[in-house]
A and B are shown apart, each in its own frame.
Chain A
């Protein structure tokens, strides 16, 4: 007998998994989401956040482009608060780019993407950051920025309100099977090591680049090609709208103004494992140099950090490599393909089309479960629950989405001055059992994502681990050190200029003033035992039956 039972287990807490969880809950199907790390800690949270109009794919991958067009419009309806409607420019800076233009225009027309040629003078008037190299400009009003963290949290909260459960830091170690039917999963808590089993009628494998590893537990093969992309984060938005090179998609040809920062992306290199994502100086240099071709201010901005994500490209057996492969997705019905009932994988795709991917795989599972309710995710907005979203909404996004914010901010103290995070923005998350590290707080609030990369907010957050989560000082200190460490991993790739000086200040503050390394040295706790235990039952939110989102329930 499994320890608990549910209807459907969704494995993977990225946008697709969160989307599937929401889709299931909207159809009234009981569901549990299992994620081995934190929500949006894999591919989704490491995307560059471009809400694709489809323009980027319209020549090489028209099917993906058409999906982007449709999904982009749906997301603007249902997930308005996660999107910055910046619009975008496609710019040509070389002869080759100019030669690409006719195909681009034709591709846009075929995919139904609005595309308007504007004069360079007009473009510069609207976007002074466009560089002197820019020769022609297309305006693509439907490009934008999609906040991947906010998107996943929004989906998860929406599902939780409907009774779905979320367990982070919970790895699937095996499956329960009866004959050729999956009847449950075996899990292990990454912190306590505690093993449990969950009985279910079906499992959705939404683990993206990790889908092959999960499928292997059932001795079936799912061929996903992990393709690394490196991105560089600049300290401010640089441009008002997204900027793409108008050419065959290549390295370093996108600039996305994302909330308070700009993200330069990206490279494309096949890697042996989705968690082996080295970042080389040449890649960082390439992002900056290519970006500087399109926009002024790229090479003079402060590079805050670099990070790498992994695309989960689905191998359809074609010859294609990396970018040549389709960004389309596929639903794998393992009952039909491998004779294993109650198991389906969703692979390929991209964040912009997450909802459609979730809908398709949920369609299959619901059909097998005999549930006839159709998907309503295209119509029901994420923020159908106002108060809940209010709590999520107060983020510097609202500064990026231009709005005078200062007076609203008032004179309350801030947790993170870089990203304008207030105490009440972080407080509810300390009560959420899905939140186990300060990195998790960062993903939900943006605390620590500004130029100082957690130098200051880290100790304020550590203090709140004590006051609001009831941890002892030693554990909170350990959590703070881990937080600084994960931030450092991204910062070290851009060690020059201000960010190098910043790192010195951060090191001086924590290692010398706070004597952090010594403090850790004399802790009895082993360094690996760094994750935080979940809040005690009854004081947390989410998870349990009545416990989900209690602060909302109390408002009602």
Chain B
């Protein structure tokens, strides 16, 4: 063969490193919600692959504006060349924080689980405090948390304790492990209750392994070591589950961490094996439906709702299973509000210097929601729901909420 004489092209050239793939097409910049809303952000193309060329020097770091990246990951979703833009930005952020030190605020926001535990233990008091103008003024001064940003309500009875107290149902066809995340545990136990009820209604046993914060607050607050520590604990425990147990998450961001970021961004050993078993709750229910196992005996739910697709859901690459599910329910009038990022991006919009930007990013969504005038806005992500409620005054819920109503739960 002639290739044996001449050698093939691939004898010389290997596959290039992913960062090399950027062709400067600028698609990422056009979808970046931050770049679209402020002049002072250079955008993912520059802060990701372009700056990465210079970061190969250990001492050099292009850091300006890195903290303005909200971590929505839309750039990665859009990139036609599969450049892992977010990973470059996160690593550079983290490196900058390691060199310069972290602010108290970023430390606190990185430890949301700790914060939530405290909030939950002192629930009535904490909730009162979070709504007190003087306390909020002090929080803004000391912690840099914007006084206008509503903080989540904590509940005294955690999901974890609720789950332990409840009676165990009979043996079922399938078993899933529920990664409920800090939000369900400390702030919205009812969502967790609904998830459990819906799964059990479909003959699925739910188990709740001991779990740690998924680590995304630590990642976005430039504390990768902490995220790796949390992630490592979760991976160890989840890998201890029997092989036939799937893992369910009801928070899009927690789910994304388990599915993807543990293995890629954080490089946690054993994370690949966890990632392939993780499903978003709606993704899982839709798969049940496709397998003909979903109980379709729904009561009609007469409601007109909007659906907002969270940015991190788009990163899952599973489409919008919640919309498909809800369309199975009689009476539900569902429409997508396709106006992009809500702007809060977890702890991003909480920060004093980013609050205004966060509201500006979300303004298009807010306008559309207000104009539509529906009963409520559905979103799979808890911080999206907070932001939509704050920005529009509309009611907001997880899509599971409607499904639970269709199954007769209130």
A-side residues, CB < 8 A to B, are 235-238, 240, 260, 285, 288-289, 297, 299-303, 396, 399-400, 402-407, 409-411, 414, 417-418, 420, 450-452, 455-456, 496-498, 501-502, 504-505
Stretch of B55-63, B148-156, B303-311 at the chain-chain interface:
B55-63
Q: Are B21 and A498 in contact (CB under 8 A)?
A: yes
Closest chain B residue, CB of each to CB of A298: B14
Query: Which A residue's beta carbon lies closest to that of B83?
Result: A498
B13 touches A299 (CB 8 A): yes
Stretch at the interface among B40-48, B329-337, B379-387: B40-48
How would you classify the secondary structure of chain A's contact residues: helix, strand, loop or mixed? loop
Is B63's CB under 8 angstroms from A404's CB?
Answer: yes
Q: Which residues of the partner chain A approach B14 to less than 8 Å between Cβ atoms?
A: 299-300
Query: Which chain A residue lies CB-closest to B24?
Result: A452
Q: Are A410 and B64 in contact (CB under 8 A)?
A: yes
A418 B50 Cβ-Cβ under 8 A: yes
Q: Are B42 and A411 in contact (CB under 8 A)?
A: yes
A396→B54 contact, CB < 8 A: yes
Chain B residues contacting A505 (CB-CB under 8 Å) are 23-25
19 contacts between A and B (CB under 8 A): A237-B56, A288-B13, A299-B12, A299-B13, A300-B15, A300-B20, A301-B17, A302-B20, A400-B60, A404-B63, A411-B42, A417-B50, A450-B50, A451-B22, A452-B24, A498-B20, A498-B22, A498-B81, A501-B21
Q: Is B53 interfacial (CB-CB < 8 Å)?
A: yes
The residues in B between 1 and 30 inclusive whose CB is less than 8 angstroms from any CB of A are: 9, 11-17, 20-26
Beta-carbon contact of A240 and B57 below 8 Å: yes
Does B319 touch A at the CB level, under 8 Å? no
Residues 309 to 353 of chain B near chain A (Cβ within 8 Å)? none
Alpha-carbon separation in the docked complex, A496 to B45 (Å): 22
- Docked Cα-Cα span, A63 to B272, in Å, equals 60
The listed residue (B17, B56, B62) touching A406 by CB distance below 8 A is B62
B20 pairs with A235, CB closer than 8 A: yes
Contact of B24 among A260, A297, A406, A502 (CB under 8 A): A502
The one of A237, A404, A420 in contact with B61, judged by C-beta atoms closer than 8 angstroms, is: A404
Chain A residues whose C-beta falls within 8 Å of the C-beta of B16 in the assembled complex: 300-302, 497-498
Do A288 and B62 form a contact, CB below 8 Å, given A411-B40, A451-B53? no
Considering the chains assembled together, what is the distance between the CA atoms of A247 and B10 in angstroms? Answer: 27
For A240, the closest partner residue in chain B by CB is B57
- B57 to chain A minimum Cβ distance, whole angstroms, is 5
| B65 interface residue (CB < 8 Å to A) | yes
Q: Are A405 and B53 in contact (CB under 8 A)?
A: no
CB proximity of B328 to chain A, nearest CB, Å? 42
Bound complex: CA A502 to CA B50 (Å) = 14
Interface pair B65/A411, CB less than 8 Å apart: yes
Q: B24, B58, B63 — which one has the most chain A CB atoms within 10 A of its CB?
A: B24
Interchain CA distance A366-B301 in the complex, whole Å: 99
A417-B61 in contact given A236-B53, A451-B20, A502-B23 (Cβ < 8 Å): no
**A236 neighbours in B (Cβ, 8 Å):** 53, 56
Give every chain A residue within 8 A of B11 (Cβ-Cβ). Answer: 289
Besides A302-B16, A399-B57, A417-B45, 7 new A-B residue pairs in contact (Cβ under 8 A), listed by A number: A236-B56, A406-B63, A411-B42, A452-B24, A498-B20, A501-B81, A505-B23
User: CA A551 – CA B15 in complex, angstroms?
Assistant: 48
Cβ–Cβ contact A403 & B60, under 8 A: yes
Q: How far is the CA of A196 from the CA of B20 in the complex (A)?
A: 49
Residues on the B chain within 8 Å of A400, using CB: 54, 57, 60
Q: Which residues of B contact A288 (CB under 8 A)?
A: 12-13
| Shortest Cβ distance from A497 into B: residue | B16
Chain B proximity of A24: nearest CB distance (Å) = 38
* Known contacts A400-B57, A411-B42, A501 near B23 by CB under 8 Å: yes
The answer on a CB contact under 8 Å between B54 and A399 is yes
A433 CA / B62 CA spacing, docked (Å): 34
Q: Is the CB of A406 within 8 A of B64?
A: yes
Q: Which 8 A-B pairs have the closest CB atoms?
A: A402-B59, A302-B20, A406-B64, A406-B62, A452-B24, A505-B23, A406-B63, A402-B60
> How far is the CB of B151 from the nearest CB of chain A, in Å?
31
Within the complex, what minimum Cβ distance (angstroms) separates B251 from chain A? 33
Residues of A close to B59: CB separation below 8 A: 402-404
A387–B178 Cα distance when bound, in Å, is 65
Q: Which residue of B lies closest to A410 (CB)?
A: B64
- Interface positions, chain B 347-403, Cβ under 8 Å from A, are none
* Highest count of chain B CB atoms <10 Å: which of A260, A303, A404: A404
- Measured CB to CB, the closest approach of chain B to A133, in angstroms, equals 15
